[in-house]
Amino acid sequence: MGMPLQSRAHRDTPPRTRSMSLAGLLCLWLGCLLLHGGAAKPLGPPCPCPDYLQSDCDMQGFADGPVPAGKSFYIDFARRLCTCGPSGNITCASRCPAVPAACAAVGSPMADGCPQCICYDEDELPVPAGAVTARGAQVCTCPPQGGQLQCSGSKSEE
């Protein structure tokens, strides 16, 4: 019984409409294929990975070929960002702010690993410039240029 219903459905649809549907689907498929092919093209020339960055390129997923234009990857424990530019060369820039020339001591007390002005406390641990810390009953501040902790208040030994 199911066969006559299917046959009747095909007979009720004009042949021209069916062929236009097929042609429409074919055009849609070709259009999607062309759009997909166009989207896969890189924005510019790919950048060959220089020898000194090859291990970083490999670890960041560019081991099988050059870095596509506009793509970036991190090096130096994520302190530098390298990008493939439109010229076809990879350029790397620091993600850390510049350390002032007046810094008396430089270290990396924060988890981001960026260097900054610091002081060392009595346990030789870095204290960021501008930070306030307690040393027993004393309150100590690291000056903006780093160097020596400046403490005030009574000493814990007294």
pLDDT value of position 153? 73
CB-count exposure of residue 82 (10 Å: 0-12, 13-18, 19+): buried
Say if CB 108 and CB 125 are below 8 A apart: no
105, 129 contact by CB (below 8 A): no
Q: Would the pLDDT of 39 be above 80?
A: no
pLDDT, tens digit, for every residue of 96-154? 988 999 999 998 887 788 899 999 887 888 899 999 988 888 899 999 999 999 998 76
Percent of the chain with pLDDT over 70: 69
Beta bridge partners of 83: 72, 91
Local confidence band at 19 (pLDDT 50, 70, 90 cut-offs): very low
Question: Could you tell me the pLDDT band of residue 90, with boundaries at 50, 70 and 90?
Answer: very high
Report domain extents, the chain. Answer: 2-39, 51-94, 106-152
Task: Give residue 43's pLDDT band: very low, low, confident or very high (50, 70, 90).
Answer: low
- Provide the β-strand partners of residue 107: 116
Distance, in Å, from the CA atom of 49 to the CA atom of 67, rounded to the nearest integer, reads 7
Q: Which residues contact 66 (CB under 8 A, 6 or more apart)?
A: 46, 47, 48, 49, 84
Residue 122 has a pLDDT of 79
Look up the CATH number of domain 106-152: 2.10.70
% of the chain with per-residue pLDDT over 90: 42
Q: Which element (helix H / strand E) includes 107?
A: strand 106-107
* Average pLDDT, integer, range 32-50: 60
- What are the pLDDT digits (tens) for 69-79? 999 999 988 88
Type of residue found at 105: A
